[in-house]
Chains A and B, each alone.
Chain A
């Protein structure tokens, strides 16, 4: 199998590292070689957090520009910031709910028109799936599960290499007992969101 390269970007506190770890665990349980790296120097302090997950044979731990098969963004600005990781084949999955950085409140640069920007990005990549994952997480029971919603939307694209069940098991084994049910619901909501968007757009470009 060709190595799958998944780039996950988020704002500190959105649970990027845990999401990547669950994806890695799911891959491992499928018998895939898993290599990941994470950059979270100051995650707790609201900075950007990046994870790279490589599933399949190989030795490197890094995804270069243009190399991501998937770009998963938990926040639309961060998805756009990481656009350089995409090639014309990349599948981009992004949350549309903004988390404006405090520089915006201070009246520095404005928060961009995300919808417009995503529309401009869509034709340049293989596929763009965008939806309000934060709302779905809240519906599932907790806004903190936004990471799991996003993973649902990602894993919906990973068959046959990785099955939903692999990820559900990872949730059961590796997330906090009190959050397992919420997370399971959040995951299904993410999977469902992909079906919905794809149905609505008839194979959204």
Chain B
């Protein structure tokens, strides 16, 4: 079956997710090479390429991490291909080392770095603003305000990159990546997948003497980029009036809707910067000229605001310019229509109607509904066993993935979390500083992403901690993407999966244990043994993510478990130790929802009364 993004006819309209639109834009640009490490809210961009690569000559790979992903794509772009790499905002931190100097060499082909920011941190550890990377690296950045624009800008980004011979950053936020809108399909440009490399070591090998010639070249290219920004169709000035509003990305929609709703089109001049770096001074001056006052509406950091102030200062303008200010906009979180209207009202003395929510006084308090490990998740087994052995005596640095959810009660596993791989890295510090038992957690995908070097460090520097690798055979949190340990031959994709235990031993770890974490007693024993070792030891808790297992050939669903009320003494050990969401506690006692139970048997192993049994057997022995 042809992928829907490929079968669409030119001129046809469809409702697409922002991420699908970005992928389609790249396809319309004739992208030949794509790579990614998944991360919310960017993951669906890569998913499209993953699927399309299976039916066309587009090359796609899930790389081990964002830096590798960027480097692989850079290699292809060095050979003249059109390449794209997609990641979430914090992924760019990982990739940034390569990006900074790639800006110096530039690329003969085209390279688009699609990066998805997550204001309000719907599913991220911070809400950093990626636009600063554009400034730091000296690279152009494009920011769409709508799903339709996401497609068109993605396509244009390749042309811009090829023109400037520089990587181009396509920066979005969750409100664009995970928005859907109506998109008109454009022409699909033919893919060129045959690259060729022209050697030019004194342009591409960044030793100091070469880099000294490359940095001025980069500045020259960025000067050219500024000229392009001046004429760019993405930098729109619309409306005419004494007041100015400068905006970008998702905030443009709120501004535009508010002004249209209020009927104030003749009072405002709007500057929407779609190419927000390098900023076009001329364009900004054109916007500023004659305005009484200006409000800058941008989520995140005052990136545009600072740039606009600089332009105004240079031109000797004293127009009041405001944006991030305690009584206007915050640097925190996402905006919404009401936040923007409030600021417009306050700053310009307007009375735009703001919807007034109903009062919720007197409504009962609601129980939280935090995300939880799925029923049957093997991480629950590992955590339950570790808690059984070590309780709160150990320090538990953790990492990024589904297993981070072990933080919640009743598992309460996780004491420190900052970045991919940082659980392993920080564990040594915790151990040295306290002399306490330290047990760090990392998932298999995260281990290949950034666990290898901190583990090598721990071996060499003789750190003393237990690393538990929660190996569920996939990248669970972002939608079950493969990683270097995953066999994907059932999808007819040839890869060479790496054996986790060999890697760990290869790094010099002496004490390595592997256990199925859904075997409770065996896991308890393994934890006891492993945590008694000194030096870095590794426990690989290996069992497939049940959601992923469902997608594999030959995997049968397991029989659900039930509570036999004739035996149950209502200790609730099962619920209180596992926190498995298949349980509910009613006046009748503890119940398992057979539709949700994944049949992992963990609770049955914990029940002192042996009152939990597989459904079929329970029926056979009444």
Q: Which chain A positions have C-beta within 8 A of B477?
A: 42
Q: Are B363 and A117 closer than 8 Å at their CB atoms? A: yes
Q: Which chain A positions have C-beta within 8 A of B576?
A: 106
CB-nearest residue of chain A to B547: A44
Check: A35 CB closer than 8 A to any chain B CB: yes
Q: Are A61 and B179 closer than 8 Å at their CB atoms? A: yes
C-alpha spacing A46/B366, complex, angstroms: 16
- For window 143-170 of B, CB contacts with A under 8 Å fall at 145-147
Q: Are B337 and A67 closer than 8 Å at their CB atoms? A: yes
Interface 9-residue window, one of A78-86, A152-160, A177-185, A188-196: A78-86
Q: Are B338 and A64 closer than 8 Å at their CB atoms? A: yes
Q: Are A62 and B181 closer than 8 Å at their CB atoms? A: no
Q: Which chain A positions have C-beta within 8 A of B395?
A: none
Check: A202 CB closer than 8 A to any chain B CB: no
Q: Are A41 and B122 closer than 8 Å at their CB atoms? A: yes
Q: Which chain A positions have C-beta within 8 A of B506?
A: none
C-alpha spacing A86/B355, complex, angstroms: 9
Check: B256 CB closer than 8 A to any chain A CB: yes
CB-nearest residue of chain A to B258: A60
Count how many pairs of residues, one from A and one from B, have CB atoms less than 8 Å apart in the complex: 191
Q: Are B357 and A62 closer than 8 Å at their CB atoms? A: no
C-alpha spacing A109/B357, complex, angstroms: 26
Q: Are A61 and B250 closer than 8 Å at their CB atoms? A: yes
* Interface residue from B250, B252, B355 paired with A64 (Cβ < 8 Å): B355
Q: Are B175 and A62 closer than 8 Å at their CB atoms? A: yes
**Closest CB-CB distance, B607 to chain A, in whole Å?**
15
Check: B372 CB closer than 8 A to any chain A CB: yes
**Mask of B575-586 contacts with A, CB within 8 angstroms, 1/0:** 110011101110
Q: Are A111 and B337 closer than 8 Å at their CB atoms? A: no
Q: Are B123 and A104 closer than 8 Å at their CB atoms? A: no
C-alpha spacing A21/B179, complex, angstroms: 11
Interface 9-residue window, one of B24-32, B402-410, B418-426: B402-410
Q: Is the interface of A mostly helix, strand, loop or mixed?
A: mixed
C-alpha spacing A38/B177, complex, angstroms: 9
- For window 256-272 of B, CB contacts with A under 8 Å fall at 256-257, 260
B interface, size bucket: 35 or more
Q: Are A87 and B357 closer than 8 Å at their CB atoms? A: yes
C-alpha spacing A42/B377, complex, angstroms: 14
C-alpha spacing A1/B143, complex, angstroms: 29
Check: A100 CB closer than 8 A to any chain B CB: yes
Q: If A21-B15, A59-B145, A101-B367 touch, does A88 touch B339 (CB 8 Å cutoff)?
A: no
Q: Are B358 and A105 closer than 8 Å at their CB atoms? A: no
Q: Which chain B positions have C-beta within 8 A of A36?
A: 15, 179-181
Q: Are B367 and A108 closer than 8 Å at their CB atoms? A: yes
CB-nearest residue of chain A to B341: A64
Q: Which chain B positions have C-beta within 8 A of A44?
A: 374, 547
CB-nearest residue of chain B to A121: B363
Check: A175 CB closer than 8 A to any chain B CB: no
**Mask of B309-333 contacts with A, CB within 8 angstroms, 1/0:** 0000000000000000000000000
Check: A166 CB closer than 8 A to any chain B CB: no
**Closest CB-CB distance, A49 to chain B, in whole Å?**
10
Q: Which chain A positions have C-beta within 8 A of B145?
A: 59
Q: Which chain A positions have C-beta within 8 A of B410?
A: 106
Q: Are B182 and A33 closer than 8 Å at their CB atoms? A: yes
C-alpha spacing A44/B13, complex, angstroms: 30
Q: If A35-B180, A46-B369 touch, does A64 touch B584 (CB 8 Å cutoff)?
A: no
Q: If A47-B369, A113-B364 touch, does A106 touch B182 (CB 8 Å cutoff)?
A: no
Check: A58 CB closer than 8 A to any chain B CB: yes
Q: Are A106 and B409 closer than 8 Å at their CB atoms? A: yes
CB-nearest residue of chain A to B260: A58
C-alpha spacing A65/B182, complex, angstroms: 25
Q: If A45-B405, A107-B585 touch, does A35 touch B368 (CB 8 Å cutoff)?
A: no
Q: Which 10 A/B pairs are nearest by Cβ-Cβ distance?
A: A41-B123, A66-B355, A42-B371, A66-B357, A47-B371, A60-B253, A64-B338, A112-B364, A59-B253, A45-B371
Give the B-binding residues of A (Cβ under 8 A): 11-12, 21, 24-25, 28, 33-42, 44-48, 58-67, 77-78, 80-81, 83-88, 90, 100-113, 116-117, 120-121, 124-125, 143
